[in-house]
Amino acid sequence: MKPNDMESELAPYGLKLRGVVSLSDDEIREYGFTGQTAVALVGNIGSSYWPEFAQSREYADGEADPLDRWSLRVANEVVLNLNATPIFPFHGPPYLPFQQWAKRAEAQQQSPIGLMIHPQFGLWHSYRFALLIKAADEVVQIEQVSPCLDCIAQPCLNTCPVNAFSTNTYDVDSCAQYLKQTPSADCFKHGCMARFECPVGREYRYVDEQSQFHLQAFIGARMGLDG
């Protein structure tokens, strides 16, 4: 299968091929990917998938996890014409290491707030699924340069009103508690403000509607967990 075939299957959904990673024998064994040799990452850059998703039946039907269900449907439609098996970032725990694969697929590094940062798209990209494929072994050398090294002000670490990223982890409880108690928080307009204030890739920032959707999904999941 050629990358071009994959790109043309993904394009109608606003999705992009985000690189192909050769799997090690250990990974194939650990994750039970017998017979496959590589993983092709599929995701969005900026709001690329939003127009398609926002007019989908999953977005409209009021059932739980619309984006995950959309991703499942799209992945299964895409593989009809490709010799590939879909896998998903949201199946777990244990979760598949999408961010570690991302680092091997493209010039990306982990930012101080845990999200992978891309030199062009900044923090404004994510993964909807991946395709397990049989690909010729190709070792692609990727030059890893993190834009964070030149970022003196690091607004991602000092914008959150409850310092949720101050301890080298993401304090999910403080974040969720704050959002629950503060309906006027800016995070409800633009999504996580720590992410929003990053200076890299600003032109790829998600449209507000998409950021609000993600934040509401996060809050909904937390409310469920909190009972």
Footprint of ligand B12 (CB under 6 A): 89-90, 95-100, 113-116, 123, 125-127, 165, 168-170, 172, 175, 191-192, 214-215, 218
The upper half-sphere exposure of residue 20, i.e. CA atoms within 13 Å in the direction of its Cβ, equals 21
Residue 192 in the binding site for ligand SF4 (CB under 6 A): yes
Which helix (H) or strand (E) segment is 221 a member of? helix 208-226
DSSP letter assigned to residue 162 = T
**Closer CB to ligand B12, 14 or 89, in the complex:** 89
Smallest separation, CB 90 to ligand B12 (Å): 6
**Closer CB to ligand SF4, 28 or 185, in the complex:** 185
Residue 187 in the binding site for ligand SF4 (CB under 6 A): yes
DSSP string covering 50-100 = HHHHHTSHHHHS--S-HHHHHHHHHHHHHGGGSS-EEE-TTS-SSPP-HHH
The pair of structure tokens assigned to 181 is 């108690």
Binding site for ligand SF4 (CB under 6 A): 111-112, 117, 147-148, 151, 154-156, 160-162, 164, 175, 178-179, 187, 192-194, 198, 200
